[in-house]
Structure 1
Amino acid sequence: MSLAVLKSRALAGMHAPEVTVEVHLANGLPSFTIVGLPETEVKESKDRVRAALQNACFEFPARRITVNLAPADLPKESGRFDLPIALGILAASGQMPGEELDHYEFAGELSLSGELRPIRGALAMTHAMHRADDSDRRRRAFILPRANAEEASLVRDAAIFPADTLLQVCAHFASANGDTRLSRHRAAAIMSPPAYPDFADVKGQAQAKRALEIAATGGHSILMVGPPGTGKSMLATRFPGILPPMTDDEALESAAVHSLANGYSARRWKTRPYRAPHHTASGVALVGGGSPPRPGEISLAHRGVLFLDELPEFNRKVLEVLREPLESGHITISRAARQADFPARFQLVAAMNPCPCGYLGHHASKCRCTPDAVARYQDKISGPLLDRIDMQIQVGALPQEDLLKQADGEPSAAIAGRVERAFTAQIERQGKANHALSGTEIDTHCKPDAAAEQLLRTAMARLNWSARAYHRVLKVARTIADMAGAPEIGQAHVAEAIQYRRALREH
C-alpha cells in the first residue's frame, strides 16, 4: 500500500494530545514534505530519517513522500516524531508489515545510525495514552526508546515496549514468532525515597521547629525572619522530610511535570520536590515560559517545597508573579500562538534577614541600619504578597555558650509521625489540607468557640488585617487544633496562630 497511518503524541503544556502520523507515497519527482504545523526540529527529521533508514539497510523510496501530522492546527515540536515517520515510510513502501501498527503508539528520536535516543515528556505521553485507553475501552501499547522506559512504566498497567534501534522495532512487526518481538517492560521495584537531612541536627530553635511542624501539617506557607547564621536555610532543607507521604496521584503529577522538563528517574518516586532557585532568577525561570512553554520552578516544586532564600533580594516584579499561583495552585502561560497550563500547588518556604546588614535584634552584633533603611528593605516584599503567606516567624540568634549546651534536636521521623496523624484527620474530615479550604468550607470546618472568635475579631481590628489574613489565621488555628486533637478551635489555638503573623509588618 502507498499509505500508512500511525499514532503518536504531542506536548501542549501538561497535556499530550494524540497526533496521527499519515505517510503517503506518490509517483512524481522525488521529494520529502512534512505538513501539519511542524517546527524546526520536526522539519529536520527528514534528514535524520533518511540517514537512519539507509544505515539500517532499508531502501529510501525515490518517490514523492508526504507526511501529515494531524491535527493540522496543533504545533509539533522535538524529534519524537522521527520513529513514527520512519515506520510509516517503511510500511507505505511495503518494506515492513503494517497490519499491527494501529495497536501501538510511537515516539522516539533517531540518530543517523538508526539508534533511538530519549525524548522529553515520555511520562506525560504515556499517562495521556493510558487515560484515553480507559475512556474508549481500547488498549494500545507504547513503543519508545529504552532510556524512557523506566519513567513511562510509572503509569500503572501501561504496556511499554522499549527498543534500542529502529531495526528492533521493525523486527518486532516483521516477526511471525516471539524470537525477535520486543519484550514488555516490567516496572522495577520502587526503592525507598532518598532520606532528607534530619531535624536532629538542629539544636535549639524550638519555636521555629514548632512553626514548621504546623506548616507541614496544614500545608501552610511560611516566612522565617532572622539574622545570618540562625539556621533558617538549615531548617528549610529539612522541612520536606516531615511532610505527609505523597499519594500515588500526587507522585504521578509531580513526575509528569519533571518529565516535561529534563526527564524523570524512578528513584525519585514519591520524593517531595525541593526547589531553591537563586535570587537572581527571572520571572520566566520562576513561573515558566519559552517557546514551546516549559514549566518553571513553581511547577517543578508541585506537591513539594519552593524555598526562596534572601527573599528581599529577588526582583520585586519576579516575586509578584507568585501571588496568583499561591492562591489558585496553577499557572497559565499565554503566548501569541498558544497557551499552556501547568500545576503549581507548592508549599512556599521563604527566609530573609530583618534588615540590610542582617543584625537587627541580634543579641551580640549591633545593627547600624537606620529605621528608614530597615523599612525600605522590608518594603521590598509587597503587602499583597505578604498577605498571602500564612505564617511569619522570627528565628532568633542563640548565644554561643547556650548553643553548645543544647542537646540534639528531635529527629524528623518523630515529627513526621505527628504531622501524618494530624494530616490524616484533616483528610478524613474535609478531604483536603487546611490551607486549601475555600470560604464556605472555612465556615463549616473552622468555626471557633465564642472566646476564640472574640479574640480573633479584636486582633483583626487592632492589626488592620484584611479578610484574607483573617481567614488564613483561622486556617492556621484549625491546624493547631488538629495537632492537639481538639474538635473545635479554642482561644489558645487562635492566640498561637495570631503570633505567627507578626514577624514583619502588622498584616
Structure 2
Amino acid sequence: MVLSRVWSVALSGVDGIPVEIEADIGGGRPRTQIVGLPDAALNEAKDRVRAAVRNSGMVWPDQLVTFALSPAALPKGGSGYDLALAVSMLVADGRLPPEAFSDTVLVGELALDGRLRPVKGVLPCLLAARRAGLRRAIVPTHALAEASLVSGMEVLGAGTLAEVVTWAQGAADALCVPDPPPTAPTTDHPDLVDVVGQPEGRWALEVAAAGGHHVLLAGPPGTGKTMLARRLPGLLPGLSSEQALEVTAIHSVAGVLTTDSPLITAPPFVAPHHTASIAALVGGGSGLAKPGGISRAHYGVLFLDEAAEFASDRLEALRTALEEGEIRLARRDGVVVYPARFQLVLATNLCPCAPPRDADCVCPPQARRRYAARLSGPLLDRVDLRVRTRPITAMSRTADTEPETTTAVRTRVAEARARATHRWSAHGWHTNAEVPGPALRREFALPRETTALLDRALSAGAVSARGADRCLRVAWTLSDLAGTPQPTRDHVMAALDFRDRKVA
C-alpha cells in the first residue's frame, strides 16, 4: 500500500508538469527502486538520497523502498527530484507528518552530505505548480531569488535536508524566506552617438526597432556594422512583466540565470560565434532538447556577425523560427516547443577579401557570387531591411553633423510602437512584424494607387508574395514613425527600396 505522496515537477521545454511521487516501504528484499520512466541521472538519485538521509543523522530503511513517479508514461530526468524523493521516504517511514507537504512542491538536488544544490528550471517549475493549485514551494536557498519571482505562492529556501526535516516537525523558522525583490538594474547599452556616419544604417536600425523587423547589414569591414547591431537593444522598449517572466523561464531552463539579478527585464542580446553548432543555435541535446541561442534571444536580438561564415545548415535552420516565432525540436524522449520571437540582425562583408573600398576588391566574379550565395534566397526573403554600409571617409565631427543619441531615437521608436500597439491590440498583435499577411491585405488593405508600385514589383518577379507582405509591414512602420494614419505611396516605395538593396 502506498504510504506517502509528495509533489515535484517535470519540465518539458519551458512547460512544467506536476509529478506525484509515491513511496512504499516493505514487500521484498532490501533495495531501492524508482519506477516511472526515470533517466540515468534520476535513477542514480536513489544512491544520492540514501547517502544524504544517512549523513543527515537519519536511518535508511533496511527494506524494499519503491518510489513511483506519476504520470508513469511521462519521461522524467535530472536531479531536481532528489529532495522530493527523500521527503517521501521519510513520510512513508513515519518520521515526518504528511500534512506538512500536502500542498507543497519540492525541487532540489541533494549532495551526499545532505546539502541542497540548485537545479535548472526552478521558475517554470513553480509556475506549473501554481497552475496546478499547489500553494507552497521548498527550493534550495541559492534558487530562492529566482523562485520568489512567482507570485501567489509561499516560497521557502532550505540549505540542507535536515532543515526541511526540522521545519516539517514544527520549527517554522528553520527555512529561509525570500528577501524583498531587488530593484531591477539599469542596463547600460552602448550609445548610438558613438557610430560614425552610416545614416542609412541608423535609419534602418530605427525602423527595425519601431516595427520589430529583421535587418541585414552588408559592407566593407570596419564600417560600423557590429557597432550598429549592438546598439539595437538600447532602442527597444523594456520587457513587460509577462514577457520578463517568459524570457527568464527560458534562461532558467538553459541554466544561465544569475542569482544577484534573476529577473530579465531588458531585451536580451545573443551573438553566437560563426562556429556554433546547430544545437547551440536552435537547441538540441539527447533526451529532451535544451533551448538554444534563438530561444535565449526571445523578445530580444540575435546577432550573427560574419553571417556568410556560418555553415549553410545553421542559417537554414533559422527559417521556420523567423516565420513562426517558435522552434519545435524532436528528440528521443519527445517534442518540445521553445518560443523564439527574436529580431535577427545579419552582418556580412561583400566578398572574401573584404577591402575597405569595393574598387580594391581582387576577388573574381565567381568568388563574389559564391560568397553572396552563402546567404540563401529563402533566408534573405525573410529579412525585411537590407542596408549597405558606407566606407568611412572622415573621423572628425562638427556641431552641424553631431549624430543623434540612443535616447532621442528611442523616444521616436516608443511613439511609433505605441501607435502600432493601439492599432493591433484588438487582434493580439504588438508590432507590425507580427501582423499576418492576410490581415494586411484584407482588413487593413491599402488603396490600389498606394500599392501600385508593389504590384508591379510582384508582376516583374522583383519580390515574392512573402516579400510583398513584409514590404507592407515595413510601410506601416514607416507610417507610424511619420505619424500618418496609414502608409502612403512614398512609404511603400521606401519599404520596397529596403528590399531592393543588393548585398553583392
Query: The TM-score by the shorter chain falls in which range?
Result: over 0.9
How do 1:219-298 and structure 2 match up within 5 A?
A: 219-265=212-258, 266-267=261-262, 269-291=264-286, 292-298=288-294
* Cα distance, 1:101 vs structure 2: 1.2
Q: Which residue of 1 aligns with 2:367?
A: 373
2:108 match: 108
User: Is the CA contact 2:351–2:367 (under 8 Å) kept in the aligned structure 1?
Assistant: yes
Residue 170 of structure 1 is aligned with which of 162, 165, 168? Answer: 165
Structure 1 distance, partners of 2:480, 2:88, is 59
Q: How far is 1:447 from its partner? A: 3.4
Most deviating of 38-47 and 25-34: 25-34
TM-score normalised according to structure 2 size: 0.94
- Matched residues in 2 for 1:192 and 1:85: separation? 37
Aligned residues: 497
In the alignment, residue 7 of structure 2 is paired with which amino acid? K
Paired AA for residue 419 in structure 2: A
Of the three residues 329, 334, 337, the one matched with 2:333 is 337
| Distance (Å, rounded) in 2 between the aligned partners of 1:162 and 1:195 | 32
Residue segments in structure 2 that go unaligned for 5+ positions in a row: none
Q: Aligned ranges for residues 479-490 of structure 1 at < 5 Å?
A: 479-490=477-488
User: Which deviations, in whole Å up to 9, do the C-alpha atoms of 1:186-243 show, x marking residues without a partner?
Assistant: 4413323321111121122122111100001100001000100000001111110101
| Residue 73 (1) aligns with residue 69 (2) | no
For each residue in 1:473-506, what CA deviation from the matched residue of structure 2 results, as whole angstroms up to 9, or x when unmatched?
A: 1110110001111002112211221221123269
Letter in 2 for 1:379: A
Q: What aligned pairs does 1:310-325 form with structure 2 within 5 A after superposition?
A: 310-325=306-321
Tell me how far apart the structure 2 counterparts of residues 232 and 401 of structure 1 sit (CA, whole Å). 16
Cα drift, residue 404 of structure 1? 8.5
Residue 269 of structure 1, CA deviation: 2.2
RMSD: 2.0
Structure 2 counterpart of 1:144, from 136, 139, 153: 139
> Is 1:415 aligned to residue 409 of structure 2?
yes
Number of the residue aligned with 1:123: 123
- Output the CA distance in 1 between the equivalents of 2:404 and 2:189: 14
With structure 1 as the length reference, what TM-score do the two structures score? Answer: 0.94
Which of 458, 465, 468 lines up with 1:467 in the alignment?
Answer: 465
CA shift for structure 1 position 304 = 0.6
Using the alignment, how far apart are the partners of 1:233 and 1:2 within structure 2? 61
Pick the aligned partner of 1:397 from 383, 391, 396: 391
Aligned twin of 2:350: 354
Tell me how far apart the structure 1 counterparts of residues 299 and 180 of structure 2 sit (CA, whole Å).
23
Residues 194 and 505 of structure 1: CA distance in aligned 2, closer, same or farther (over 3 Å): closer
Letter in 2 for 1:416: R
Once the two structures are overlaid, the 10-residue window that deviates more, 44-53 or 306-315, is 44-53
What is the rounded CA distance, in whole Å, between the counterparts of 2:375 and 2:36 in structure 1? 47
**What secondary structure does 2:190 align onto?**
coil
Tell me the distance in 1 between the aligned counterparts of 2:197 and 2:216: 18
* TM-aligned CA deviation for residue 414 of structure 1: 1.4
Which ranges in structure 1 are unaligned for 5 or more consecutive residues?
A: 134-138
Specify the code of the residue in structure 1 equivalent to 2:42: V
TM superposition shift of 1:449: 4.0
Deviation at 1:38, TM superposition (A): 0.8
> Does residue 205 of structure 2 align to residue 207 of structure 1?
no
**1:391-448 deviation per Cα after TM superposition (whole angstroms, max 9, x unaligned):** 1111111213567998543221111111111101111111221011112321256533
Q: Deviations over 1:258-307 (max 9, x none)?
A: 00011423355212111101111121211111123100111111111000
Equivalent in the alignment of 1:136: none
Residue 500 of structure 2 aligns to a residue whose secondary structure is coil
- Do 1:23 and 1:66's aligned partners in 2 also have CA atoms closer than 8 Å? yes
Distance 1:496 1:361, change over 3 A: farther
Match of 1:504 in 2: 502
